[in-house]
Amino acid sequence: MKNLSPRHVQTEEARRLGVPAGWYSTKISGTFVSGPHASEADCLRKIAQLHAQSSKASANGEEVASVVPSDEGHSG
């Protein structure tokens, strides 16, 4: 996956979206790819990990499945 960005979703927006507040990796379209993460640094690490997985799979001619939001880093 390429062109992922970290995005912080604050409490009010999180309630509106029906997701926990926190940091999410997002596509250019705004679609959440992973999260919530406890910090921007955690989110950036996940983006790097996803990019590495995507690059490795592309080199092997494999398809990479989309990642859905998880409870990773969520405490409550």
Instruction: Specify the pLDDT at position 31.
Output: 95
**Preceding amide of 36 cis, omega within 30:** yes
Enter the tokens of residue 56. 């490795």
Q: Which residue has the tokens 């990479």?
A: 64
> pLDDT per residue over 2-48, tens digit each?
689 999 999 999 999 999 999 999 999 999 999 999 999 999 999 99
By C-alpha distance, which of 56, 2, 76, 6 is closest to 34? Answer: 6
Amino acid identity of residue 19, one-letter, is V
Instruction: Specify the pLDDT at position 62.
Output: 61
Whether the per-residue pLDDT at 76 is higher than 50: the answer is no
Instruction: Specify the pLDDT at position 57.
Output: 75
Q: How far apart are CA 48 and CA 42, in angstroms?
A: 10
